[in-house]
Structure 1
């Protein structure tokens, strides 16, 4: 199949995910908040990785973990260029981001996370736009274990907090793939409109 025919076929095919061998239709129209967050994360990743060997991808690229699990994460970083193919990523990305929605939260926190862990994903983010939080999980012995929860807390709310509570707020994510890769939670939720 030629490149043009392949692109046409892919565009006309509804997006599905395969989770433990079961087919799930993906939500066709994400909210603008979801799109804002994915766009921000992808921009942050691309800017940092511009002159580095790892590559960032955003929503729409298939990840073929194994014969029973094929996902379309909202964003990811892939450092092993050998697993990048024209039809998607064949193997475990190094970092995967899933932005929660009502219809996907159970899978993102459950079977998908388990499959990503088994496949060897090193870092997994679950982003909740409404709560403006980012849960970061790190690989540990075949499991993805919660490392920390990061928040984008408005300045007015920080000012009202007790000093000990304010000290507990984490807002700078240290990405595990590089020593100097820091993502600010406020940048993840930058210009995110609440139009529900």
Structure 2
């Protein structure tokens, strides 16, 4: 019997004004919907703490050895579900839920400034739109220099680019938890169809550097 593809999808705990974090609500909705028979879905709630991310992510990648890790976060500025293409190493000056931020303001000492996902988010976005889903989807190259961006960069670094980040709006602005869950399902299913994921299993280390201007 063929082994299932393992996918981990994470959301974040509440922080600041987000007393209910729509990212974790959406991920729980995705867990209820599932990703189909061929995909073994695991979900996890991530603390909004830099040090917790540094502890959690290496064990997540090592123990589960997933084909893909998708992190979901809330953005108070987002009106659409937003696919982030890359994560950034520097510029982390906002305090987390423990009133901590890295002294160096960066994720990885001597790491590249920016790492891009192996997944082409423009392709994913286009295919999700063509599927007729009634949720607006867009692409971004700036995940915001807080725990979202920090988590994404760390995961891209650990997974040689086999990671994705999705920003969702707060609940009801304008989408319900059901809307967001269905959007996540459609997006992750499209990601799993991409040839880039098939090619990375035996391939060289990725860590592709971005070439866009910051």
Q: Same fold by TM-score, threshold 0.5 exceeded?
A: no
State the structure with bigger RCO (CA 8 A, min sep 6), 1 or 2: 2
Higher strand share: 1
TM bracket, shorter-chain basis: 0.3 to 0.5
Q: Which has the larger radius of gyration?
A: 1
